[in-house]
Structure 1
Amino acid sequence: MVRVSNTIVGFLYNISLLLCLVAICTSLYFFVHEGTQCQKFLNALIIVGAFIFAVSLLGLIGSCCRINFVIICLMLMFLLIVGLTVGTVYGKRLTNEGMGDVVSGIGHKEHRLGDYSNWLGNHFVNGKNWVQIKNCLSDFRICKILTGCCQPPSVCEFESKNGTIWVAPKAGPASKGSDCTTWSNQQETICFYCNACKVGFLEY
């Protein structure tokens, strides 16, 4: 029974080692080849990957040699999982899901930046942080998902010319909201600086 248990634990540690190696190699590749600003975010995987790799390696040695410190490695892995879970729950609580206005005739809720905590606003959608996030969204062609980043809000009543070019009414945008004036037909800009885009990012 103990041998079977050690085999299973060893197998799991092998999987963990392989995943860590992939993460570390990916980070090193973009670090050496000077990838895009978005890809450079992956450099953080070096630290996380190295830590998990070290714990997994110690655990693998312990399970193969039947050394008791394998239990310590399992506890470290458990604490790591707990930490990630707590971080996820905390992030979820930063969004006030009770907020949001129901869109008439549609039924779903329309959120605004004010529906989210100041912490999220200050760390993700304000200042230079948003510029880096915007570059990431552009690099990954996020327009297939976050439509709020890729077309002007419907309240502006812009006219679509060919799917990527939108023209404001001659009398000006139907709404005086900032998103209507923030929109640009330049594909590097479009609505990436619109509040609708930022809200869509926070939602995802």
Structure 2
Amino acid sequence: MGVSNNITASLNFVGLLCSVPVIGAGIWLASKQDNECLRLARWPVIILGVLLLLVSLAGFVGAYWNKQGLLAAYLFFMVVLILLLLALLVFAFVVTRPDGSYHIPGRSYREYHLAGYSAWLCRYVVDHWARIRLCLSASDVCQRLGREQPFLTVEQYFQTDLSPLQSGCCKPPTMCGYAYVNPTVWINPSNPLGDVDCAAWSNDQGQLCYDCTSCKAGLLGNLRREWRKANVALIVAAVVFIWIYIIGCCAFKNAQTEDLFRRYKQAYVGR
């Protein structure tokens, strides 16, 4: 095996290792409650990570056993996967860039406006809300809040860092003026506001604020936060794969030159 093939094999071994965080990020995203109910981007990252793993493996085999045809196929498919990875990153950044959260004085958690998020994501959530709502209400995202954090006083609750999903779906919006009893039971104010979310709240544990606009916004807040974390792993992987591809192209070109020189030398010596 020539020097160029050694380099290519080593780089593709690094590529094999770098595909693992991509697969891990995809599994982590798919395991989250909001992604499970939204069904928007559960599998693309996992599928892309597996394809990167397989193509890197093909590149390693082609370089180690000097299979030039396999190496050429590796370079072609790798550039396609890198472009798909970059497209996924750009798409995720664009649709998760707007932030609909806002601070509530005296609260550690934030609340969420649906209008503050990407118009495309908002349309998707509104159009599929009947299915998403059924999935959320069947989960224990709100009931788990009371079990895992048995708040003793309203001050303790207000100082808890709720997730966007818990803030939007498991309690009424602060502006409605509901009085706290426990994390999922609130007393209706004597003069409620006319906001639609204030009327949508129910102490029925199967309803809560799942019909609230704030719940839709909280779902997108969760999605935004999780994708921002996953993007870190995807950006690092994209940079590494781009460098692997560039160096791999140079190594492949050198390997072709080495092979041509070797054939010429054999032909010359044979004379």
TM over 0.5: yes
Query: What code does the residue aligned with 1:186 have?
Result: D
Structure having the higher helix fraction is: 2
Task: Tell me which of 161, 165, 172 is aligned to 2:185.
Answer: 165
1:165 Cα deviation after fit: 1.0
TM-aligned CA distance change 1:131 to 1:4, over 3 Å: same
In 2, the alpha carbon distance for the partners of 1:80 and 1:128 equals 30
Q: Deviations over 1:58-86 (max 9, x none)?
A: 22321221223325424433432332333
TM-aligned CA distance change 1:81 to 1:151, over 3 Å: farther
Secondary structure of 1:9's counterpart equals: helix
* Runs of at least 5 residues in structure 1 that lack an aligned partner in the other structure: 27-36
Secondary structure of 1:88's counterpart equals: helix
Tell me if the contact between 2:111 and 2:168 (Cα under 8 Å) persists in the aligned partners.
no
Tell me the equivalent position of 2:209. Answer: 191
Is 1:62 the counterpart of 2:82 in the alignment? no
1:100 Cα deviation after fit: 6.6
Instruction: Give runs of ≥4 in structure 1 deviating > 6 Å.
Output: 16-23, 43-46, 99-106
Tell me if the contact between 1:184 and 1:191 (Cα under 8 Å) persists in the aligned partners.
yes
In 2, the alpha carbon distance for the partners of 1:158 and 1:172 equals 10
Which structure has more RCO (C-alpha within 8 Å, separation ≥ 6)?
2
Query: What code does the residue aligned with 2:198 have?
Result: C
Task: Tell me which of 4, 9, 19 is aligned to 1:2.
Answer: 4
1:196 Cα deviation after fit: 1.6
TM-score, length-normalised on structure 2? Answer: 0.51
TM-aligned CA distance change 1:20 to 1:112, over 3 Å: closer
* Runs of at least 5 residues in structure 2 that lack an aligned partner in the other structure: 28-34, 146-161, 225-271
Query: What code does the residue aligned with 1:83 have?
Result: L
In 2, the alpha carbon distance for the partners of 1:3 and 1:104 equals 59
Tell me the equivalent position of 1:82. Answer: 83
Tell me the equivalent position of 1:12. Answer: 14
1:152 Cα deviation after fit: 0.9
1:135 Cα deviation after fit: 2.1
Secondary structure of 1:191's counterpart equals: coil
1:17 Cα deviation after fit: 7.3
Query: What code does the residue aligned with 2:207 have?
Result: T
Greater Rg, structure 1 or structure 2? Answer: 2
In 1, the alpha carbon distance for the partners of 2:104 and 2:184 equals 28
Cα root mean square deviation, aligned: 4.4
TM-aligned CA distance change 1:77 to 1:136, over 3 Å: farther
TM-aligned CA distance change 1:187 to 1:45, over 3 Å: farther
In 2, the alpha carbon distance for the partners of 1:200 and 1:80 equals 32
Q: What are the within-5 Å matches in structure 2 for residues 82-101 of structure 1?
A: 82-94=83-95, 97=98
Query: What code does the residue aligned with 2:197 have?
Result: D
Tell me the equivalent position of 2:173. Answer: 153
Query: What code does the residue aligned with 1:56 have?
Result: S
Is 1:177 the counterpart of 2:195 in the alignment? yes
In 2, the alpha carbon distance for the partners of 1:95 and 1:39 equals 17
Higher mean displacement: 184-193 or 127-136: 127-136
Tell me if the contact between 2:201 and 2:212 (Cα under 8 Å) persists in the aligned partners.
yes
Query: What code does the residue aligned with 2:163 have?
Result: I
Query: What code does the residue aligned with 1:162 have?
Result: N
